[in-house]
């Protein structure tokens, strides 16, 4: 059994739609400060394995704004908490460069090694459009598209999203080695 450590039911559903047989588990793990998702994930998986033997994976999302030299990265959660989508859009509007990279990193531990699977989408920050359960989706316009992630259907979004890319790579790995 592979456990997905998360407290986010939306993410759990998204994962279970791709990788069958995954169970969700809530664990109170330290989320360390870093601009590198792999560092944050490594600390979490180490703690998880210490608490209870097993195979676990976690996912972390980062948003790198060109105009802020890559900030906030994995600290996006707090940035969004304080500014909201409108506030982030207003901030970015003050700069010429509205480019952004969103990144999902899945980290998997079988108790011995840690493997990482990365998905990445380039785009730009736009005024909020569409409703969404996922944080910054209303202000993220992927390059080559005219809808924000929040305006797309799940099917449309899943074809290109950072999280889906990372999860598909992870699924391939599990199919081969799991």
Binding site for a copy of itself (CB under 8 A): 30-33, 35, 43, 68-73, 75, 77-79, 81-83, 87, 91, 94
* Least spacing, CB of residue 79 vs a copy of itself, in Å: 6
List, in sequence order, every residue forming a beta bridge with 54; answer none if it has no partner. none
* Least spacing, CB of residue 151 vs a copy of itself, in Å: 26
Distance CA 157, CA 150 (A): 8
Contact 73, 20 (CB under 8 A): no
* Least spacing, CB of residue 115 vs a copy of itself, in Å: 22
List, in sequence order, every residue forming a beta bridge with 14; answer none if it has no partner. none
Which of residues 19 and 84 has its CB atom nearest to a copy of itself in the complex?
Answer: 84
The structure tokens listed for 129 are 């459009």
Which of residues 77 and 145 has its CB atom nearest to a copy of itself in the complex?
Answer: 77
Distance CA 21, CA 37 (A): 25
Which of residues 73 and 107 has its CB atom nearest to a copy of itself in the complex?
Answer: 73
């Amino acid at each position: 059994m592979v456990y997905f450590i998360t407290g986010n039911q939306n993410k759990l559903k998204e994962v279970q739609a791709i990788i069958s047989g995954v169970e969700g588990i809530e664990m109170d793990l330290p989320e360390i400060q870093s601009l590198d998702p792999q560092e944050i994930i490594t600390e979490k998986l180490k703690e998880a394995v210490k608490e209870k033997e097993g195979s676990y994976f976690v996912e972390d999302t980062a948003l790198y704004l060109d105009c802020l030299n890559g900030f906030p990265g994995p600290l996006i959660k707090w940035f969004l908490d304080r500014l909201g989508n409108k506030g982030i859009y207003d901030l970015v509007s003050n700069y010429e460069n509205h480019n952004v990279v969103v990144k999902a990193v899945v980290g998997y531990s079988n108790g011995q090694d840690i493997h990482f699977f990365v998905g990445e989408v380039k785009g730009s920050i736009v005024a909020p459009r569409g409703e969404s359960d996922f944080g910054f989706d209303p202000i993220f316009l992927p390059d080559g598209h005219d809808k924000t992630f929040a305006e797309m259907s799940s099917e449309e979004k899943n074809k290109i999203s950072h999280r889906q890319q990372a999860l598909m790579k992870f699924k391939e790995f599990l199919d081969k080695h799991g």
